[in-house]
Amino acid sequence: MTLLQRCAVLLLATGLLAATATPALAVDAPPDQPFDVGTVLGPGNSGFVSVQGQARGMATGDPGEYGENVDDQRKLYWDGKLKDGRFKAPTGPVESPIPGVRISTDERGVKVVYGDSARDTWFGAGYAAGQQRLFLADAVRRLGRGTFAELVGPAGVPADVQARTLTYSQAEYDAMFAALPASSREVIEGYAAGLDAWIAHVRVTPADLPAEYALLSTLPERWTVTDTLAAGVLITRTVASAGGDEFREVEALRSLGGLAGLGQFTDLRWQSDPKATVTVQPEDGRFDNAVVPAASRDAVLRRSAAYALGLDPKLANGPGTGAFPVPTTPGGIAPAVPVPAARAAASLVEYGKALHGGSYSFAVSPKRTSTGAAMLVSGPQLGYSYPSLLWELEVHGGGYDARGSTVPGLPTIGIGYGKRVAWGVTTGNSKTIDSFIETTRTVAGRLEYLHRGVWKPADCRNEVVRYRAAQSGVPVGPPVLSQTVQICRTVHGPIVATAGEQARSVQYAMFGRELETINGILAWNRADNLAQFEAGMRMVTWNENTIYADADGHIAYWHPGLFPRRSSGWDSRFPAPGTGGFDRTGFVPFEQMPKVKDPKVGYVANWNGKPAAGWIDEYLDPASSRSGGKAQRVQVIQGLLAAQPRMTPADLRATEFRLGTVDQRHVEFGPLLRSMRGETASQRAALALLNDWDGTAYGPRAGTSAGSY
């Protein structure tokens, strides 16, 4: 099996590539791995920059001067190279923050944690996350908990109001945590305790305090279990769910002339294209999720569209979508370090807005490899930044032997490999969030909504959003300013916008069940074979495509999570009346979700596209992602794999690198260009140049004048 993890990419096969561990105590010996692994995480695994490192980096302009392992994988990444990622015993200095925990750091800055128990192991993981990614972990938990403005000032208030609207109270988090199995609770508790221990250290040790806190004139708050839970909810909501933006469809239909433009609308925003490129090939199965009978689809579409066109556009945006005014703060406060501090605060705000999902992954079965072993590549695409959103880690102890990438603040290896298995994930993009339009009234100061013929009280609570004062974008002083907002829910979910006697609520398929995903991912981190891994797949509630390969030669793909069964009387591209007649009726069983094990063609690939034939597209992203049509970027991967009947490990690496250099439009437009005939000499010359193009997106190709297009 070879495994490749680039930029957090993973390749699995008996010839895997990844990152290297470092030896420590003789007692800490990793298990054998019957495969090779290679990874690269550009620009570097560490995000820790001290005050001194900040000064050096700004003075020299050299990213490497900001800190150790901050920029040491950038060249590897851009050159398409990898570092060895097989499990190894730690070498060099070994830290033991508490008895039972041992942490070392390899030459590329990857933390290798050994623990005497599961709790010890994940304590070490949390402690290590604090050492290398404290500021990023802090941003993730604050975005999740709705306390961002307490760090960055007024600019963070809209995000905090949105987070408070869409997520949970402390009592709800407590109940969700208590419902988890003991095995998951001990991991979360250990991780939170480890991160908190490092925070306690840096609060009294200025040399280890990230420079961002000095720039923002503050200290990190202590870390709690709820912080970890909120971080998990944030990530599942932002990169592993889709939908809730039905008013985008309403505006598209309005721009086409309303009901008169329904024909054009369905041409542009279709639900099912029989020629669509899919991950699960038709010979391996068809997965139908349409609930509206074919005979009534046109009538249902027209009824749904007519209703949506009559809605007040104000329902599109409100406090629950982030449309909340940034408060003004008292003037006259002079910032201490204007430019760097303002830049730090602004970049954090932009970071919060930019969280998204992407990524590609593919696996090749032994019958198509030269080694007779499975191969896997995973390439997460979460943006390129200093530092990366992802962080590489290795853990051993308490039943866990895993290495790979995770989001700082989360106690899992989300993309990675164990002793005998490896996996990658990509955003699923199936629509799991729906909008309902509630009929509301206020009685004696209390909000009510109409559902199934009964006026019901909305579940409301007040939330106090605190924030720091700021001037010229620089937050100053403690978060003593505040705004109180009322958060309300209906039976469908949080109310995100209102207009007169109507309100829009959004219903998440996994509402209240996001934390169950940790049970599944931790099962992956313990798995040794396909059956154990699939048992974990049944537990996840998020919608992340998962591609798998193992040392036994199996490859597989799942499009998992909680997918709702919707009303057969409504077109889910549009907001539905919330009065009860069009409510969801349950969830699609795991057995009926798209999946394939050991596909007949000998490979499987996904780049956020349509999972399988029959699976309708209720959420159509731009064409580069979930287009739902024939032209989708996964065609590039599938074409490269189909052309290589006996792939070598070197071929695998070359294929992965090619994905970053090919212009995806060449697949569809290349044949069209070659079919054209110019009428003039200049047209013929232009076509000759274009037809000589090999699809490379940049740089000249040897032996041709065709370069960048």
The yes-or-no verdict on residue 469 having pLDDT over 60 is yes
What pLDDT does 8 receive? 40
Q: Is residue 504 part of a domain?
A: yes
Predicted local confidence at residue 274, as pLDDT:
86
Band of pLDDT at residue 619, cut at 50, 70 and 90: low
Mean pLDDT calculated for residue range 178-196? 99
Flag the least confident range among 363-367, 476-480, 614-618: 614-618
Within a 13 Å sphere around the CA of 411, how many CA atoms are in the beta-carbon half? 36
As a whole-number percent, the residues of the chain with pLDDT over 90 amount to: 76
**Locus of tokens 């499009």:** 559
Task: Output the CA–CA distances (angstroms, integers) from residue 506 to 273, 402, 487, in the order listed.
Answer: 27, 37, 13
In a domain, 466, yes or no: yes
Q: Which residues pair with 597 in a beta bridge?
A: 556
* Residue 487 is assigned to a structural domain of this protein: yes
- Residue count of the chain, please give it: 709
Q: Does any domain span residue 579?
A: no
Query: Model confidence over 401-426: pLDDT tens digits?
Result: 999 999 999 999 999 999 999 999 99
pLDDT band with cut points at 50, 70 and 90 for residue 16: very low
pLDDT tens digits, residue range 115-166? Answer: 999 999 999 999 999 999 999 999 999 999 999 999 999 999 999 999 999 9
d(CA 537, CA 114): 26
Q: What is the pLDDT of residues 430-450, one digit of tens each?
A: 999 999 999 999 999 999 999
The string of DSSP letters for 101-138 reads EEEEE-TTS-EEEEESSHHHHHHHHHHHHHHHHHHHHH
pLDDT surpassing 90 at residue 473: no
So what's the pLDDT on residue 541? 98
Burial class (CB in 10 A: 0-12, 13-18, 19+), 271: middle
At residue 12, does pLDDT exceed 50?
A: no
CATH number for the domain including 466?
A: 2.30.120.10
376 or 16: which leads in pLDDT: 376
pLDDT score, position 645: 96
Total of domains in the chain? 1
Domain assignment present for residue 484? The answer is: yes
**Cβ-based burial of 699 (10 A; exposed 0-12, middle 13-18, buried ≥19):** exposed
Average pLDDT, whole number, for the chain? Answer: 90
Residue 100 pLDDT exceeds 70? yes
Phi, psi of 425 (to 5 degrees): -130, 150
| 18 or 344, greater pLDDT | 344
Where is average pLDDT lowest: 166-180, 190-204, 683-697? Answer: 683-697
Is position 467 within any domain? Answer: yes
**Which of 278-292, 298-312, 527-541, 678-692 shows the lowest mean pLDDT across its residues?**
678-692
pLDDT in tens, 256-304: 999 999 999 998 888 888 888 999 999 999 999 999 999 999 999 999 9
Nearest 5°: CA angle at 647, between 643 and 648?
A: 145
Kindly state the DSSP code that residue 662 receives in the 8-state scheme.
Answer: B
In tens, the pLDDT along 325-354 reads 999 876 544 434 445 655 655 565 565 555
Q: How confident is the model at residue 544 (pLDDT cuts 50, 70, 90)?
A: very high
CB-based contact 148:142 (threshold 8 Å): yes
User: Domain limits at 466?
Assistant: 433-508
pLDDT at residue 385 in the model: 86
117 vs 659, more confident:
117
- Quickly tell me which residue has 């190894």 as its tokens: 88
Q: How confident is the model at residue 622 (pLDDT cuts 50, 70, 90)?
A: very low
Give domain status of residue 501, yes or no: yes
In a domain, 541, yes or no: no
280: which DSSP letter?
A: B
User: Per residue in 354-376, pLDDT tens?
Assistant: 556 679 999 999 999 999 999 99
pLDDT of residue 275: 87
User: What pLDDT does residue 17 have?
Assistant: 31
Mean pLDDT of the 607-615 span:
93
